[in-house]
Amino acid sequence: MHQLVLDSHRVIHQHLDLLHQQLSNHCEECDTSGIDSSGLEKRLAEWREDDEGSARMVLQQLHLIYRMLPELHMLASKFAVKVDSQSD
């Protein structure tokens, strides 16, 4: 379980760094292929009902955050398009 939390933190942090770059540089596209998530969503989705309450809650929250990352990248792209069109 600790390794799963560490892996999740690493991947989420990489995505957040990429989002920061995407927003700072007004990038319409972002390449997430360099982020190795190797089945992380599946592993996060497999939390068990018998997991300790706090551990289960952490895994559920990490899973939710992970699932939101593609939407955040898409939103950042839309912001970049909006900023570019306003600066023209």
Q: Is the pLDDT of residue 87 over 70?
A: no
Query: What tens digit of pLDDT does each residue of 26-38 get?
Result: 888 888 888 988 8
Residue 31 amino acid letter? D
> How is the chain split into domains, by residue range?
46-88
DSSP string covering 31-67: --TTS--TTHHHHHHT--TTS-HHHHHHHHHHHHHHH
The model's pTM is 0.81
Q: Is the pLDDT of residue 88 over 60?
A: no
Helix or strand or coil: residue 80? helix
- pLDDT the model gives residue 6: 94
Query: What tens digit of pLDDT does each residue of 36-86 get?
Result: 888 999 998 887 766 788 888 899 999 999 999 999 999 988 887 776 666
